[in-house]
Structure 1
Amino acid sequence: MIEELLPDGPSWAEAFDDPADATLFPEEEAVIARAVDKRRREFTTARHCARRAMAGLGVAPAPLLPGERGAPKWPDGVVGSMTHCAGYRAAVVGQAGKVLTVGIDAEPHGPLPDGVLDVVSRPAERAQLHDLSTTDPDTHWDRILFSCKESVYKAWFPLTGEWLGFDDAELSFDAGSGEFTARLLKTGHSAEGEPLTGFHGRWLVGNDLVVSAIVRLRRN
């Protein structure tokens, strides 16, 4: 699925179950030594996907440990993002000299729990979701918004090292193309010598999942 959202260049891998050959490095085992089975399977398969994706770049397998705020620590020269939800795990990686940042997210394609939309959205976003839902009521636009905002955060954090709240980005959607634009409301940061003002990404719905991705390539 996720390859449909990516430009040329990044390497990706995904899984719809937990393969028996997915293993962890000892350092990773120590991180989840007391984790419940569900957490262990998510953690293990996401890293299995990440190492498959890194292999596509010619990068040797390596431990991928959680860093600040849980963001994975990638090997030197690699940028990437991982995601997991029920029935899906994926990773996308790129060469740091070609890809500036990556953010991906997967969610079940179902409505958000009651009350969550008001927490994760801005008024203009809720107005747009209302219009989109009127036109396409079978699509759970609230879940798409949530997934895309998660991708925004995952793309933002490696560039800034700062928290980005749901209210710190305002998203707009092009339903026809499956693309979204995120306008960042938290100012004062830059990327490649220019103000960091937003991201462009894509999403899709399929297999009862919502998958979203942001891949920002470096300028030539």
Structure 2
Amino acid sequence: MIERILPAAVIAVEAYDDPPDAVLFPEEEQVIAKSVEKRRREFTTARHCARLALARLGLPPAPILPGERGAPGWPDGVVGSMTHCAGYRAAVLARDTDIVTVGIDAEPHQPLPDGVEKVVTRPEERVHLAELAAADPAVHWDKLLFAAKESVYKAWFPLTHKWLGFDDARITIGPAGTFEAELMVPGPVIESGTLAGFSGRWLVDRGLVVTAISLPVGN
């Protein structure tokens, strides 16, 4: 599913359940040893997906350990992102010669819990959400905007190693499966210049809302 909103240079592997043959490296086992079963299943299957993606890139399996702020530590020369929610896990990977950064998120296609919208959105975004809902009430735009911001953070952090708050990016959602994220703080400097924001894509399918950002090299 998620490959539909990613370029061909990005390898995507997803799972809708937890395969019994998914195993962890010893180093990963140490990380998850004291976690509850739900967390263990999410952690294990996401890494199973990531190793399948590594294989499709022609690379050997490797442990993927949480690093700074929990961001996954990828092998040299690889950029990637992982996500998991109820009934879904995914990992997307690419070579850093093709893609500068990538960020994905998946959420159940349901409204945000009461009170959360004001925490995760800017005032102008709430106006935008009301306009989108009036035009198409079948989509839970609040959850979509939340997922878009999660993707922004996952694309931002490997470039900056800095926190990005919910107010630090302004999302504009296009009804045709695209979104734009304008950074409200100084953006990271990459080879092509300073980033002012990110462009992303989204879809709603199988009871999920999925968002993805991928920045090709040279853009």
TM-score range, shorter chain: over 0.9
What is the match of residue 37 of structure 1? Answer: 37
Residue 211 (1) aligns with residue 215 (2): no
Q: Distance in 2 between matches of 1:101 and 1:45?
A: 22
What is the match of residue 185 of structure 2? Answer: 186
Residue 167 (1) aligns with residue 161 (2): no
SS at match of 2:185: coil
User: TM-score scaled by structure 2?
Assistant: 0.98
What is the match of residue 95 of structure 1? Answer: 95
Structure 2 gap ranges (5+): none
**What is the letter of the counterpart of residue 137 of structure 2?**
P
**1:9-24 to 2 correspondences below 5 Å:** 9-24=9-24
Deviation at 1:101, TM superposition (A): 0.1
Moved over 6 A (4+): none
What is the match of residue 133 of structure 2? Answer: 133
Deviation at 1:189, TM superposition (A): 2.8
Q: Distance in 2 between matches of 1:8 and 1:106?
A: 20
Q: Distance in 2 between matches of 1:168 and 1:117?
A: 15
Report which stretch shifted further, 190-199 or 209-218.
190-199
Residues 155 and 213, structure 2, Cα contact 8 Å, conserved in 1? yes
Q: Distance in 2 between matches of 1:211 and 1:54?
A: 22
Deviation at 1:97, TM superposition (A): 1.1
Deviation at 1:193, TM superposition (A): 4.5
Aligned residues: 219
SS at match of 1:130: helix
SS at match of 1:94: strand
Deviation at 1:135, TM superposition (A): 1.1
User: TM-score scaled by structure 1?
Assistant: 0.98
Structure 1 gap ranges (5+): none
**What is the letter of the counterpart of residue 5 of structure 2?**
L
What is the match of residue 52 of structure 2? Answer: 52
SS at match of 1:100: strand
**What is the letter of the counterpart of residue 189 of structure 1?**
P
Percent identical residues: 63
Deviation at 1:57, TM superposition (A): 0.6
Q: Distance in 2 between matches of 1:188 and 1:38?
A: 36
**1:98-113 to 2 correspondences below 5 Å:** 98-113=98-113
Q: Distance in 1 between matches of 2:185 and 2:157?
A: 12
Q: Distance in 2 between matches of 1:185 and 1:139?
A: 26
Q: Distance in 1 between matches of 2:69 and 2:92?
A: 19
What is the match of residue 200 of structure 1? Answer: 199
Deviation at 1:142, TM superposition (A): 0.2
Deviation at 1:8, TM superposition (A): 1.6
Q: CA offsets, 1:151-173, max 9 Å, x none? A: 00000000000000000000101
Call closer, same or farther: CA 1:193–1:36 in 2, change over 3 Å. same
